[in-house]
Amino acid sequence: MELIAKQNKTDVGNAAVSVSGSVAVLDALLAENVDTVFGYPGGAIMPIYDALYDYNDKLKHILVRHEQGAIHAAQGYARVSGKTGVVFATSGPGATNLVTGLADAMIDSTPVVCITGQVFAHLLGTDAFQETDVVNITTPVTKWNYQVTDATEIPAALAKAFFIAGSGRPGPVLIDITKNAQLQMFDYAGYRKCEHIRSYRPKPIVRNEYIAEAAKLINEAQKSFVIFGQGVILGNAEKEFQQFIEKAGLPAAWTIMGMSAIPTNHPLGVGMLGMHGNYGPNLLTNECDVLIAVGMRFDDRVTGRLDKYAKQAKIIHLDIDPAEIDKNVKTTVPVWGDCKETLPLLTELIEKKSHDAWLQKFNDCKKKEEEKVIHAELNPTDETLTMGEVLKQLNELTKGDAIIVTDVGQHQMVACRYAKFNHSKSNVTSGGLGTMGFALPAAIGAALGDTSRQTVAIIGDGGFQMTLQELGTIMQFNVNVKIIILNNQFLGMVRQWQQLFHEKRYSFVNITSPDFVQVAKGFNIAGKSINDRKDLQPALKEMLDAKGSYLLEIMVGKENNVFPMVPQGKGVSEIVLSKEEI
């Protein structure tokens, strides 16, 4: 059926054809240029799956092993491609299994459209089989959600869903469609993309007076400091951002979500912010005179104690979401708007400068961090492998061109501290929500979302066991994911905290693992486990050169800690480089 031809508005009118709600759903996806759907069938979404049978050549459906896997995969897909990820799930448990992923996508501003089946409209509220009030459950974790009970609503609901998910500050949208609406035949007049909703302003209007005020502050300042988040990536403003910092000659540090927006070796890139970020960016946040925040939301993991955060500085905050301004940190000059539009305006007005002495301060901090932390992490002298040296070797082999997908915990912090990136949209991780189990399914989505780059998932032994069923998805669809498990036989980050703040009372952090290589083998995925330094580089090379997916388990030091660290409840300038300083 060639229905999308009708999307042209001039076609709408007499040319209506009778189609089912399910066909209208799939036609909408095609009109939105969706090529991949992650999903899992079930009773209440069967009509859509039935229609999908005829769309096999146009829509690739990836059958996951758990709905959480579907939404994380859609997130990974969205994060590397910049497109909206699409998920199908059935009602009840299918839909509730999406909740973690929705929350993750909400807090990390990832565009995802989830379509869930729902029981027949006449059964709503009767505690029918597999009935859950999905719209209410997902309200706090969706940018928008809607229940469709009549097929005629489907085209408009989906058009709105895609518009809302992908525009402004992106986010997850859920459309719940009752089974009768999926089955219902109706006169379909074609799909119209949604471009405007009167009650929804994706972008606030850009106000030149604030741009001028911000430029004035920057021009008068001696040591401004730029901190940036995922907004730069979501706004496709990488080039504009680089031009801005290069003209201003200012040091720029990224949040975990902003990472890879500029190449990690950019001369003005001074590292990562946050609890386990780099020493200089954290320390000098409390020394700069103007703090320029671009597309970031002052998360508590970035700011540490708010009453000790950049109190000396004037704050310029560029953000597309008005609700972020002044939310956590009081702004001196707010620059509302899409940073792709506001950054060039700002760049235009600032003076070209260099700040050698100020940059030198960052370099001095970097040297100190090198001496006290980085050198030992990357060049350990004792037998046990460190996570850092794995990253170092990996960088040498991938040359910074790979997509790195990480889970949550110590390995995530180490990977984000040491991974090198040349390209934007390369660092995929669960930032705001900290969802263990995110990486494996997200890597599946990432590998499918950008086949031109290699996808390497780095996962801890704990997180891997949360979603390892998705190895089945990798097997079935020959997804090319290189999986590195950094196994320290502990839930490492919690263990680190128990060591540092709970008198080493190791309470349920000792986790045993199956033979991961055997597990992988069961899924027809090649693998290897190593614990010797001399095997590290060859094993990584073997993994990267392998034809398809590959699982490499690397046994690392059991009780290594991630440093530096801004201990909880401390200010960013109270960052410590070793446990002795705590």
Partner 1 sequence: MTKQEYTISVFTENQIGLLNRITTIFSRRKINIDSFNTSPSEIDSVYRITIVINETEEVVRKLCRQIEKQVEILKAYYNTADEIVWQELALYKVPTDVIAAEVKVERLLRQYGANTVVIRKDFTVFEVAGHREETEALIKVLEPYGLIEFVRSARVAIIKASDGFHKKLQEFEYKEPGEEAVENVFLNDHEKVFSM
Residues recognised as catalytic: 67, 129-130, 179, 493
Residue 204 makes contact with partner 1 by CB under 8 A:
yes
Find out whether 203 and 337 touch, Cβ atoms under 8 Å.
yes
* Three-class secondary structure of residue 536 per DSSP: helix
Instruction: Give the nearer residue to partner 1 in terms of CB position, either 198 or 534.
Output: 198
DSSP E strand stretches across 34-141: 36-39, 60-63, 85-89, 112-118
Residue 581 makes contact with partner 1 by CB under 8 A:
no
Contact segment (CB under 8 A) with partner 1 among 143-151, 247-255, 386-394, 474-482 equals 143-151
Candidates 93, 140, 267, 538; binder of partner 1 (CB under 8 A) is 140
Residues 270 to 329: which contact partner 1 by CB under 8 A? 321-323, 325-327
Instruction: Give the nearer residue to partner 1 in terms of CB position, either 336 or 563.
Output: 336
Instruction: Give the nearer residue to partner 1 in terms of CB position, either 144 or 516.
Output: 144
Least distance CB 157 / partner 1 (angstroms):
11
Least distance CB 534 / partner 1 (angstroms):
53
Write out the two tokens for 149: 């009970």
Contact segment (CB under 8 A) with partner 1 among 195-203, 264-272, 383-391, 511-519 equals 195-203
Write out the two tokens for 424: 């934007």
Residues 420 to 449: which contact partner 1 by CB under 8 A? none
Residues 153 to 182: which contact partner 1 by CB under 8 A? 164
Residue spans of alpha helices (H) in 465-555: 471-477, 492-501, 516-522, 533-545
Residue 219, classified by CB atoms within 10 Å of its CB into exposed (0-12), middle (13-18) or buried (19+), is middle
Least distance CB 38 / partner 1 (angstroms):
24
What is the C-alpha to C-alpha distance for residues 213 and 194, in angstroms, rounded to an integer?
35
Find out whether 16 and 187 touch, Cβ atoms under 8 Å.
yes
What is the C-alpha to C-alpha distance for residues 301 and 298, in angstroms, rounded to an integer?
8
Instruction: Give the nearer residue to partner 1 in terms of CB position, either 112 or 250.
Output: 112
Residue 523 makes contact with partner 1 by CB under 8 A:
no
Neighbour tally for 399: CB within 10 Å: 9
Name, in order, each residue with C-beta under 8 angstroms of 357's C-beta and a sequence gap of 6 or more. none
Residue 505 makes contact with partner 1 by CB under 8 A:
no
Query: Residue 314 pairs with which residues in a beta bridge?
Result: 290
Residue 196 makes contact with partner 1 by CB under 8 A:
yes
Candidates 8, 33, 136, 354; binder of partner 1 (CB under 8 A) is 136
Instruction: Give the nearer residue to partner 1 in terms of CB position, either 326 or 348.
Output: 326
Candidates 85, 249, 334, 492; binder of partner 1 (CB under 8 A) is 334
Candidates 16, 46, 183, 197; binder of partner 1 (CB under 8 A) is 197
Angle at 297 between CA 113 and CA 439, to 5 degrees: 50
Instruction: Give the nearer residue to partner 1 in terms of CB position, either 159 or 479.
Output: 159
Residue spans of alpha helices (H) in 338-438: 339-349, 356-369, 375-378, 387-398, 410-418
Number of residues that bind partner 1 (CB under 8 A): 29
Nearest partner of 404 among 264, 548, 238, judged by Cα:
264
Sign of CA dihedral 91, 67, 110, 475: negative
| Binding interface with partner 1 (CB under 8 A) | 135-136, 139-140, 143-147, 164, 195-201, 204-205, 207, 210, 321-323, 325-327, 334, 336
